[in-house]
Amino acid sequence: MKSLLAVGRYLIVRTLMVGITLVVGCYLIVIIMNMGGKLDDVRRAEIRSNVASAIFLDPSNRGIPADALKVMVDELAELEYERLGLDRPFFPWRSLEYLFTALSLKLGTAEQLTSDTGSRSVARILSERLPATLVLFGTSNLLLFFLAIQFALFLSRRYGSLVDRTMVGLAPLSSAPGWFYGIFLILIFAAVLRVLPWGGLVQVPPPDTAPAYALSLLEHMILPVLAITIGALFANVYRWRTFFLIYSSEDYVELAKAKGLSARGIQRRYIMRPTLPTIITSLMLILIGTWQGQIILETVFNWPGLGRQYLAAVNLNDTPVILGTLVIYGYLLAGTLLLLEFIYALVDPRVRVGGGKV
């Protein structure tokens, strides 16, 4: 009971901290985005030119003198500024309002972009893209995690062997990010061998039946997943192998060996157990890293996810979509962190006792 309380307290404190950090982070993003009012000027100019072209091109306005038309443009633009809330000062109200609408995910309507179904709603635009990002991100990170753990354990058992030395020698390969290997993979498998697709989510046109769709999706996922994995695998295998080695030279492991426990049992109970918290922390950093690389990976592979949507929004200065994507990224990162904190609380005995760093 007491340990449950400790875990609960730990988790509540963590959630609060991550929550506060998220709010501060979002506010920071809102401020950077406004770039000292310059963005407002850009948007005003855009609105004005749209209004002006609408009025000057309207055939029913023909014959009205240019001066009168100018007045009309001014009035209409003013109305439009008011509609978009550009007439009020940025600090503090408009910025806080942006922050609040962003955090509550009431994202409003996009200025330029539309969803595939033609909707202007930011929520719809983003929710259309989210699954594609999550499926790629989830698969590749799970694969990465289990592969890295298995490899690291395997190598720590065969310390000094040829496989071990090869893997250690390959560790510097991880200095290049996933997208970089993506380019090589596309070159080999799509351009030269022509066996795997160049990119995209599914083939064009999309298959009608669900199994065919899934199969096509899988085929398109091979290269990006492989790219992410290669980009991060070697360094993590190297790092975790070292952890395992350090822990497998502890006295209690020697004792367990002397007692004649099975190698598998020793590995699970005496090596994995104490290293788990450290491994979870390092997994957290990997996850953050892959999130960061998502945009460019999606661009390289033409993957219709959040990242590519974000790039499109940035190029069009579509503020609501930019803000929405950044906030969703923030939520996803925070969610991932909290999930790991939760696992951490389960596996780290220090948390249960209540004496850990909180």
Binding site for another protein (CB under 8 A): 17-18, 21-22, 24-25, 28-29, 32-33, 35, 38-39, 159, 169, 171-177, 179-180, 183-184, 186-187, 190-192, 198, 242, 245-246, 285, 288, 291-293, 295-296, 299-300, 310-311, 314-315, 317, 322, 325-326, 329-330, 333-334, 337
- Residue closer to another protein by CB (options 73, 336) is 336
- Which one, 156 or 216, has the nearer CB to another protein? 156
Nearer to another protein, 266 or 326 (CB): 326
Helices of type H across 91-177: 95-103, 122-157, 162-170
- Say which residue the tokens 């969803």 belong to: 115
Nearer to another protein among residue 6 and residue 300 (C-beta): 300
For another protein, give the closer residue by CB, 6 or 322. 322
- Cβ–Cβ under 8 Å, residues 229 and 144: yes
Q: How far is the CB of 21 from another protein (least distance, A)?
A: 5
Per the CB < 8 A criterion, the answer to whether 213 and 207 are in contact is yes
DSSP 191: I
CA separation for the pair 321, 93 (Å, rounded): 20
Q: What residues pair up with 109 in beta bridges, in sequence order?
A: 121
First-to-final CA distance of the chain: 19
The residue to which tokens 């298959």 are assigned: 207
Shortest distance, position 296 Cβ to another protein, whole Å: 5
Within 10 Å of residue 148's Cβ, how many Cβ atoms?
25
CB nearer another protein, residue 126 or residue 326? 326
Q: Nearer to another protein by C-beta: 85 or 172? A: 172
**CB crowding 260-279: b at 16 or more within 10 Å, else e:** eeeeeebbeebbbebbbbeb
The DSSP secondary structure of 268-322, one letter per residue, reads IIIIIHHHHHHHHHHHHHHHHHHHHHHHHHHHHTT--SHHHHHHHHHHTT-HHHH
Taking the least distance from each CB to another protein, the nearer of 123 and 326 is 326
The secondary structure element, H or E, covering residue 23 is helix 2-34
Tell me the closest approach of the beta carbon of residue 227 to another protein, in angstroms.
Answer: 13
